[in-house]
């Protein structure tokens, strides 16, 4: 692959990485907007934590805890899971929720957590994007540094320059 093609490939790699790195930020913003909208427009209900499971983090530094809740809506019993990010309630605790009219499995808690595990895939893609962005920028810098520079000829010896003026001295 010649140098211009490599430069284009490096630039495309950096752009693709930047787009993937931006994805989780955009997704989180959209989820925050949806949670706020759902809290104002959703049907009120009360969920009870029926179970709480913690899985070891594996190669991650923190464990993954999920609350399993049960709630009644329109005479039907529903069960769902809520990821424990900031708040993790004990078994038996109740929490006010607002449920989407279009999807009874979609709700937001009074502490702002949406049901399910949303945005995890986008987070993984964001990390991959960050690596691609760094690789693309590093490759671009390497290509710029490896570019052959034109050789400069040694400068000719300079002769003294006589400054002349068309004005006579003293005027």
pLDDT band at 19 (very low <50, low <70, confident <90, very high): very high
User: Is residue 44 situated within a structural domain?
Assistant: yes
Query: Higher-confidence residue: 61 or 158?
Result: 158
User: Is residue 76 situated within a structural domain?
Assistant: yes
Parent domain of 69? 3-124
Q: Is the pLDDT of residue 30 over 70?
A: yes
The encoded tokens of residue 112 equal 């702002």
User: Is residue 154 situated within a structural domain?
Assistant: no
User: Is residue 139 situated within a structural domain?
Assistant: no
| 75 C-beta neighbours (distance < 10 Å), count | 5
> d(Cα 121, Cα 70) in Å, to the nearest integer?
26
User: Is residue 115 situated within a structural domain?
Assistant: yes
86 Cβ contact partners less than 8 Å away, ≥ 6 residues apart: 111, 113
Residue 98 forms beta bridges with which residues? 44, 108
Residues 5-18, mean pLDDT to the nearest whole number: 92
Q: Is the pLDDT of residue 169 over 90?
A: no
User: Is residue 31 situated within a structural domain?
Assistant: yes
- Total-model pTM: 0.64
- Residues 104-143: pLDDT tens digits? 889 999 998 898 877 778 888 899 999 999 999 999 889 8
The total domain count for the chain is 1
User: Is residue 129 situated within a structural domain?
Assistant: no
Residues 42-46, mean pLDDT to the nearest whole number: 95
Residue 70 forms beta bridges with which residues? 48, 79
CATH number of the domain enclosing 109: 2.40.50
Q: Is the pLDDT of residue 171 over 60?
A: no
Using CB atoms within 10 Å of the CB of residue 166, give its burial: 0 to 12 exposed, 13 to 18 middle, 19+ buried.
Answer: exposed
């Amino acid at each position: 692959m010649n140098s211009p093609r490599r430069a284009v490939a490096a630039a495309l790699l950096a752009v693709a990485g930047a787009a993937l790195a931006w994805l989780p930020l955009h997704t989180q913003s959209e989820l925050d907007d949806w949670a706020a909208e759902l809290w104002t427009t959703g049907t009120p209900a009360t969920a009870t934590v029926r179970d709480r499971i913690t899985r070891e983090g594996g190669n991650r530094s923190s464990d993954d805890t999920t609350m399993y809740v049960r709630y009644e809506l329109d005479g039907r019993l529903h069960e769902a899971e809520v990821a424990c990010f900031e708040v993790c309630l004990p078994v038996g605790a109740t929490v006010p929720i607002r449920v989407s009219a279009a999807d009874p499995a979609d709700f937001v808690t009074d502490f702002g957590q949406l049901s399910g595990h949303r945005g995890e895939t986008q987070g993984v893609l964001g990390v991959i994007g960050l690596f691609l962005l760094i690789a693309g920028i590093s490759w671009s810098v390497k290509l710029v540094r490896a570019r052959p520079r034109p050789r400069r000829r040694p400068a000719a010896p300079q002769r003294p320059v006589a400054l002349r003026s068309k004005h006579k001295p003293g005027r």
